[in-house]
């Protein structure tokens, strides 16, 4: 399976628009140009969100296939991960269908969303199907309690696999949310308690994003940066674009 990249850029997310920042990419051509500039700046992975013609969050297997084909040509050195985020628009059956049918090597999936109105057996079968198809799932954990959900849904062999991919979300989407490096501690403590040694990464919000990513790097984790989570540098200044954020985080972690 495709390994988790060291520095993944999440350039747009499901919610922000160009009214939040004029350099936020919305169209596929915008995303491709952003991917190129971020690759040059040092990102080795792209977390892909698509939008419809009105700029709204879109989960569509066919559109993902088209986008992935173009991105594989334009940025062949980047790992490409699609999102299955519900964003209040999609239910778990549709999310599962898109993950399995989009032709992606990597998908990010929130454990909490996969069990929404869904029997555990159905969610567990979905994760097994992804493994059988060679799709690397990065499991989204919103707090340390989600480790219990992870253990509930995945077989022991998957939990013990060092290729198990996790991402810890430090903080929440909200106005003026600023994550703190201390937000990482409960995840690391719980991970040790349950005896897991996965391939893990972190995303964080607001002006605290850089400090959180630096701490995650120091602790041996991988990083996700970009306008999905923050528009600002550590000093509070507005980033010029996603590539600017990538450069600043790389320098901060050097």
Residue 205 φ then ψ, to 5°: -125, 150
Q: Is the pLDDT of residue 174 over 70?
A: no
- Global pTM reads 0.96
User: In degrees, to the nearest 5, what angle opens at C-alpha 240 toward C-alphas 237 and 242?
Assistant: 110
pLDDT at residue 173, as a whole number: 61
Q: What percent of the chain has pLDDT over 90?
A: 96
pLDDT at residue 107, as a whole number: 98
Tell me how far apart the alpha carbons of residues 69 and 181 are, in angstroms, rounded to a whole number.
Answer: 37
User: In degrees, to the nearest 5, what angle opens at C-alpha 190 toward C-alphas 187 and 192?
Assistant: 110
pLDDT at residue 227, as a whole number: 97
Tell me how far apart the alpha carbons of residues 118 and 122 are, in angstroms, rounded to a whole number.
Answer: 7
The helix or strand, by DSSP H or E, that contains position 13, with its residue range, turns out to be none
Domains and CATH numbers, the chain: 7-253 (3.20.20.70)
Give the tens place of pLDDT for each residue, 44-80: 999 999 999 999 999 999 999 999 999 999 999 999 9
Q: Is the pLDDT of residue 105 over 80?
A: yes
Average pLDDT of span 99-116 = 97
User: In degrees, to the nearest 5, what angle opens at C-alpha 59 toward C-alphas 50 and 153?
Assistant: 120
pLDDT at residue 53, as a whole number: 94
Q: Is the pLDDT of residue 175 over 70?
A: no
| CB burial readout 159-193, b (16+ within 10 A) else e | bebeebbbbbbbbeeeeebbbbbebbeebbebbee
> Which is nearest to 8 in space by CA: 203, 244, 163, 160?
203
């Amino acid at each position: 399976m495709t390994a988790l990249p060291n520095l993944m850029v999440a350039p747009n997310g499901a919610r922000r628009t160009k009214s939040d920042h004029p350099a936020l990419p919305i169209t596929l051509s915008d995303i491709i140009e952003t991917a190129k500039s971020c690759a040059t700046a040092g990102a080795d992975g792209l977390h892909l969100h698509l939008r419809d013609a009105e700029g709204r969050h879109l989960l569509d297997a066919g559109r993902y296939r088209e986008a992935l084909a173009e991105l594989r040509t334009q940025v062949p050195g980047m790992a490409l991960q699609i999102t299955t985020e519900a964003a209040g628009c999609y239910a778990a059956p549709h999310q599962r269908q898109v993950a399995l049918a989009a032709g992606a090597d990597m998908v990010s999936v929130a454990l909490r969303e996969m069990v929404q109105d869904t029997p555990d057996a159905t969610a567990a079968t979905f994760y097994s199907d992804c493994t059988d198809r060679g799709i690397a799932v990065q499991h989204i954990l919103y707090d340390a309690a989600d480790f219990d959900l992870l253990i509930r849904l995945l077989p022991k062999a998957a939990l013990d696999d060092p290729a198990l991919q996790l991402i810890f979300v430090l903080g929440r989407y909200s106005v003026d949310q600023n994550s703190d490096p201390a937000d990482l501690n409960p995840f690391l403590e719980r991970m040790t308690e349950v005896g897991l040694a996965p391939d893990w990464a972190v995303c964080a919000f607001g002006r605290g994003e850089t400090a959180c990513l630096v701490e995650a790097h120091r602790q041996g984790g991988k990083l996700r940066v970009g306008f999905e989570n923050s528009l600002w540098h550590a000093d509070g200044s507005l980033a010029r674009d996603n590539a600017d954020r990538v450069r600043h985080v790389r320098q901060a972690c050097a």
